[in-house]
Chain A
Amino acid sequence: MVLTELPYSQGVCAFYRWSNLVVTHPVLVSLFPVFKQHQGTGRRRMKALMVKKSRIVAFFVIIALLGGIISQTVMNTAKGINLGLDLQGGFEILYEVNPAEDGAEITEETLQSTVSALNQRVNVLGVSEPNISIEGEDRIRVQLAGVEDQQTARELLATEADLSFRDVDDNERLSGEDLEENGASVGFDQSNQPVVTVTLRDGNAFGEVTEDIINDYSPPNNRLVIWLDYEKGDSFVEESQQEEPKYLSAPTVNQPLYHKNIQIEGNFELEEAEFLAEVLNSGSLPVELEEIYSNAVGASLGEDAMEKTIFAGFIGIGLILAYMMVYYRFMGVVAAITLSAYIYIVLTIFNWMEGVLTLPGIAALILGVGMAVDANIITYERIKEEIRSGRSIMSAFKSGSRRSLSTILDANITTILAAGVLFYYGTSSVQGFAVMLIVSILTSFLTAVYGSRLLLGLWVKSRIFNKKPRVFGVKESEINEL
């Protein structure tokens, strides 16, 4: 076996250092110097047979910390998770992107720009967290959770990108068609500020427009306002008062520009500049969106059913924890702690990845709980076996942890391999399943293997359980004397 056990004492020490950095709680801080002392003297007395209380104290400090962090943040984490279409209900459209002109090709770039344009439009609708994704080589899936009105959603998405350049009185001066295809990109000016460079089809037309604006308007009204999907009644004067104006940008024109290549300056953040460039490109997109599928999705779990299911999930997890504690006694308690940490960490990571939770995602989470429990069970059964074969508690713990690691590792790697293939070849909800599964397995490996070892190790190494196999669910009569 190539794998070696993580040097145990190192793991524990590292944790102390880490805790010292993050702990600000006065009571806990005051506890730490105590333990460090004990740890130091404890090491010198390694061979002494007395119970080392410091490790037990460390165990409770870790539990208190964990409990504190989880109880403080779990509500926010749970609320922050985006529910998928199947859980929340909404509207879904799958488009096939076709080139507007025969012979033209759909590239990755065109798809990206189309997604940006759709995103911009969905934002107008006020949908929170639209999910717009590229599928395959020429498809875009738009999922609008919470949108029930098919008509509005379809109209909004299906209108061709309508890019226009208007003066401050909203008269159209130029349109998206005047831009060179894929001619917008992000550059930097002399002071390293991001700018958007645009290539026009006809430099003269732009020159005339800019000349008119300079002649007709005086600063600060000498602007050429860029709109996406301008609607009758929209007004620059009104929108400029808004915090989030509907127009994209309102660059000022300082001189007539008889050029094909122009530069839009502004106090852009890099991201803003990239976004504007993408939208300008999509405004001149030579694509047609053909709807190949649309579906109003009812929440398969309505609010009521969702609550029921969450309740059922809690009961299920409660039963698992209770079973573990009854069967594995003290080790079961450790398993219960690491499992709680596991669920919390998975949800946090998922939140942080801005993942969308769907029913298949919940399935993966359940499988993850199963695998985390399994890792615990495999380790504990090994430890019990080693105790039965007559080893001391300490050595049974060490060899049980070491020998179970390769089993768990092989089982986990095989499952991750399968999940990776599902992610690579699957579509939409199959991918969601795979992502959740990979996150779950990695987390469960961390909590069920290392978390369990750390916590259990603190007790075992305190020597409080020496000669007490019953704590581990092993009867004295079962032990084979060597």
Chain B
Amino acid sequence: MNFKTNKRVRFVKHRKKFFLFSLVFTLAGIILLSTAGLNLGIDFESGSKVEVLANETLTEEEVYEQFAEAGSGYEPDDVTLAGDNNEMAYASFIGTLDQAEIAEIQNYFVDQYDNEPSVSTVSPQVGQELAKNALISVLIASIGIIIYVSIRFQFLYGVASIVALLHDAFFIIVVFSIVQFEVNVPFIAAVLTIVGYSINDTIVTFDRIRENMNEKEEIRTFDDLAEVVDVSLNQTLTRSINTVLTVVFAAVCIFLLGGEAIRSFSFALVIGLIAGTYSSLFLASQLWLVWKWKSLEREKNKPKKEDPEDLEPEV
């Protein structure tokens, strides 16, 4: 990027629009999640598992068709084939089947294969535990990140980067609520990937702000501080765009060319990468700017007791 001011993208000028957008999006997201919710897969929902033993080789399509024929509304969430010749099938249903439904299914398959399928309930304990642990881990990691960033940078950088991180994770979840793709264990992995990417991206931007703050001799007005943020963002803009582009290449390729099963996973990655770049450019840095200015003002209004060096960013 060039240093020439006329070419510079004015990020700071439009910060209120970005704040407003993110606020509206977050509120809409909360409403959406509490009404439409997520399309939870069998990893997270309790349900029933029907074990079908046939006397011939089965295919997944056949199993879906058989269940559709057995009665209306029987659409397995997931079908797994087993046995040496794929003569067994496990069909998972979200939601527990009641006695009448079980009887209907069993009667149908007794007619078909002369073999009564066993029906068992599955608990989502493991999936839920995984998600719960992942959530707790991210929160603990956030505290760790704030501590590290406070030591290496300053406390405010840490808080802003965590806001960006949570924003990005939340963004993917909301988008999944909109498109109603299934949420399964790989989805958790995709969210964690974005958490990692978001941190990396935000820290790189902050690093440049920190560096430019050191070089700046004095900050008198809000515009001085805004200038530092704007210059820093512009200096790192090429890097931000190039990095996200390259990773998006990989994610889009897997989305388009990879297998069906990995599609929602790579979709989550693409969404998260875009959110991650948006949040480091438009959210994290702008939040830091606003907070930093407030803290500077507070310092100014205080009677001069403390060492004025405290105003300088630590390195």
Closest A residue, CB atoms, query B259: A305
Q: Give the bracket for the number of chain A residues in contact with chain B.
A: 35 or more
Closest B residue, CB atoms, query A304: B259
CA distance A478 to B238 in the complex (A): 15
Asked if A158 CB lies within 8 Å of chain B CBs, one says no
Asked if A345 CB lies within 8 Å of chain B CBs, one says no
Quick check: A308 and B246 within 8 Å, CB to CB? Answer: no
Quick check: A312 and B253 within 8 Å, CB to CB? Answer: yes
Asked if A235 CB lies within 8 Å of chain B CBs, one says no
Binds B, one of A22-30, A367-375, A455-463: A367-375
CA distance A374 to B250 in the complex (A): 14
Quote the shortest CB–CB distance from A145 to chain B (angstroms).
Answer: 13
Binds A, one of B27-35, B97-105, B128-136, B223-231: B128-136
Asked if A11 CB lies within 8 Å of chain B CBs, one says no
CA distance A411 to B149 in the complex (A): 10
Asked if A80 CB lies within 8 Å of chain B CBs, one says no
CA distance A480 to B125 in the complex (A): 63
Quick check: B259 and A311 within 8 Å, CB to CB? Answer: no
- Residue interface mask A292-304, B partner, CB < 8 A = 1: 1101111011101
Quick check: A418 and B141 within 8 Å, CB to CB? Answer: yes
> What chain B residues lie within 8 Å of A381 (beta carbons)?
236, 238-239, 242
B-contacting residues, A346-373, CB 8 Å: 359-360, 363-364, 366-367, 369-371, 373
CA distance A324 to B246 in the complex (A): 8
Task: From the candidates A149, A308, A373, name the one contacting B247 in the complex (CB within 8 A).
Answer: A373
Task: From the candidates B129, B145, B254, name the one contacting A417 in the complex (CB within 8 A).
Answer: B145
Tell me whether A414 and B126 are in contact in the complex, defined as CB-CB below 8 angstroms, given that A316-B250, A323-B246 are known contacts: no
> What chain A residues lie within 8 Å of B284 (beta carbons)?
none
Quick check: B207 and A309 within 8 Å, CB to CB? Answer: no
Quick check: A430 and B188 within 8 Å, CB to CB? Answer: yes
A-contacting residues, B8-55, CB 8 Å: 51
CA distance A319 to B261 in the complex (A): 23
B-contacting residues, A380-425, CB 8 Å: 381, 385, 388, 406-407, 410-415, 417-419, 421-422, 424-425
Tell me whether A418 and B195 are in contact in the complex, defined as CB-CB below 8 angstroms, given that A320-B250, A359-B189, A430-B188 are known contacts: yes
Quick check: A315 and B257 within 8 Å, CB to CB? Answer: yes
Binds A, one of B65-73, B198-206, B289-297: B198-206
Closest B residue, CB atoms, query A373: B246
Q: Count of A-B contacts with CB under 8 A? A: 222
> What chain A residues lie within 8 Å of B95 (beta carbons)?
none
Quick check: A369 and B250 within 8 Å, CB to CB? Answer: yes
Asked if B219 CB lies within 8 Å of chain A CBs, one says no
CA distance A282 to B123 in the complex (A): 29
Quick check: A305 and B262 within 8 Å, CB to CB? Answer: yes
Asked if A65 CB lies within 8 Å of chain B CBs, one says no
Asked if A327 CB lies within 8 Å of chain B CBs, one says yes
> What chain A residues lie within 8 Å of B78 (beta carbons)?
298
Asked if B148 CB lies within 8 Å of chain A CBs, one says yes
Tell me whether A296 and B90 are in contact in the complex, defined as CB-CB below 8 angstroms, given that A311-B257, A367-B196, A410-B207 are known contacts: yes
Asked if A306 CB lies within 8 Å of chain B CBs, one says yes
Tell me whether A292 and B125 are in contact in the complex, defined as CB-CB below 8 angstroms, given that A309-B262, A426-B133 are known contacts: yes
Quote the shortest CB–CB distance from B245 to chain A (angstroms).
Answer: 7
> What chain B residues lie within 8 Å of A308 (beta carbons)?
257-259
Q: Give the bracket for the number of chain B residues in contact with chain A.
A: 35 or more
Asked if A94 CB lies within 8 Å of chain B CBs, one says yes
> What chain B residues lie within 8 Å of A327 (beta carbons)?
242
Quote the shortest CB–CB distance from A306 to chain B (angstroms).
Answer: 7
Q: Main SS of the interface on chain B?
A: helix
Asked if A227 CB lies within 8 Å of chain B CBs, one says no
Quick check: A433 and B254 within 8 Å, CB to CB? Answer: no
Quick check: B193 and A422 within 8 Å, CB to CB? Answer: no
Closest A residue, CB atoms, query B149: A414
CA distance A300 to B185 in the complex (A): 11
Quick check: A319 and B199 within 8 Å, CB to CB? Answer: no
CA distance A319 to B185 in the complex (A): 28
CA distance A413 to B3 in the complex (A): 29
Quick check: B140 and A313 within 8 Å, CB to CB? Answer: no
Tell me whether A323 and B196 are in contact in the complex, defined as CB-CB below 8 angstroms, given that A301-B259, A301-B262, A413-B148 are known contacts: no
Task: From the candidates B123, B148, B260, B265, name the one contacting A414 in the complex (CB within 8 A).
Answer: B148
Quick check: B189 and A421 within 8 Å, CB to CB? Answer: no
> What chain A residues lie within 8 Å of B93 (beta carbons)?
none
Task: From the candidates A148, A359, A410, A430, name the one contacting B262 in the complex (CB within 8 A).
Answer: A359
Tell me whether A411 and B203 are in contact in the complex, defined as CB-CB below 8 angstroms, given that A363-B190, A433-B192 are known contacts: yes
Binds A, one of B80-88, B109-117, B170-178, B305-313: B80-88
Quote the shortest CB–CB distance from B264 to chain A (angstroms).
Answer: 11
Asked if A427 CB lies within 8 Å of chain B CBs, one says yes
> What chain A residues lie within 8 Å of B84 (beta carbons)?
148-149
Task: From the candidates A295, A385, A410, A421, name the one contacting B137 in the complex (CB within 8 A).
Answer: A421
Quick check: A377 and B243 within 8 Å, CB to CB? Answer: yes
> What chain A residues lie within 8 Å of B265 (beta carbons)?
359, 363
Q: Contacts A316-B250, A410-B203 given; 5 further ones with Cβ under 8 A?
A: A305-B261, A313-B254, A363-B186, A363-B189, A418-B144
List 20 A-B pairs, Cβ < 8 Å: A86-B185, A149-B82, A293-B123, A295-B122, A298-B79, A301-B262, A305-B262, A309-B259, A316-B254, A360-B185, A374-B204, A374-B239, A381-B238, A410-B207, A413-B148, A417-B141, A418-B196, A421-B137, A429-B185, A429-B189
